[in-house]
Amino acid sequence: MNKRSLLQTLALAAVLPLTALPAFAADQQVVIGVTAGPHAQIAEVAKRVAEKSGLKVKLVEFGDFIQPNAALVQGEIDANIYQHQPFMDAQNKDRGYKLVPVAKAVNQQMGVYSKKIKSLQDLKTGARVGIPNDPTNGSRALLVLVEQKLITLKPGVGARASVLDITANPKKLKFIELEAAQLARSLDDLDAAAVNSSYAVAAGLSPQKDSLALENTNTPYVTVLIATRAGHEKDADLLAFVKAYQSAEVKQFVDSTFKGAYTVAW
């Protein structure tokens, strides 16, 4: 990613409208990683907006929650759009990454879905409930179930909660930990599953209409970030892409396409 002077960067981020972005070199491009599905769809609109001002954008799609950050750390991409702050914090701590947020992207809620029951209270004793197998989204799922009074957790475990922290499980639910991307596809084999909205929408599910429960919007899990490596958060071409992403065209696309399943976070 080519660097500009601090003066140019600040001007770009703070005062220039999208139509006044500086010209970019013919061979210059910013590479953005996204998870397949809604984030890829939204980024495609942002790409078109950015390219109107001369910034070339390459989108790289990933099928899981691990590779986008690994590719970012290795310098294969310049930024990614798929994760919330607790997930980034956990990746930084557990893997030694130095990732930072650049801007807010969209809001999305985790939901609990089922093809077998109409209410979570209808779960039978010993029912199989799928949750993501990564620590932050797994704890996120457990917190949704706490809100539904299906389980209780040790006090204070918060974003690091795991099934080992369950202190009460009256229905003796059996938790099946799977990759987040697999949960929506596994609903035929499970009694219920907690699914990230990106994968739920891609599977044809509506968080508002089809979920049996949605997580509280007043949590740091809901907001998806545009993230990059520390030291690159003020790169001018990345900030130009952020301006394109946070444009009226993108907002209109999100509002009309996802109808509340996703909302813009800026």
Q: What is the DSSP letter of 78?
A: S
CATH code assigned to 111-214: 3.40.190.10
Q: How confident is the model at residue 22 (pLDDT cuts 50, 70, 90)?
A: low
Tokens of 259: 């109808």
What is the reported pTM?
A: 0.78
pLDDT of residue 6: 36
Q: Where are the domains of the chain?
A: 6-108+222-264, 111-214
- The 10 Å CB-count burial string (b at 16+, else e) for 162-172 is bbebbeeeeee
- The string of pLDDT tens digits covering residues 72-104 is 999 999 999 999 999 999 999 999 999 999 999
- The string of pLDDT tens digits covering residues 41-71 is 999 999 999 999 899 999 999 999 999 999 9
User: Which CATH entry fits the domain spanning 6-108+222-264: 3.40.50.170, 1.10.3720.10, 3.40.190.10, 1.20.120.790?
Assistant: 3.40.190.10
Element (H, E) at 28: none
| Residue 111, beta-bridge partner list | 195, 214
- Nearest Cα neighbor of 32 from 211, 178, 244, 223 is 244
pLDDT of residue 68: 98
Same fold: 6-108+222-264 with 111-214 = yes
pLDDT of residue 24: 56
Summary mean pLDDT of the chain: 90
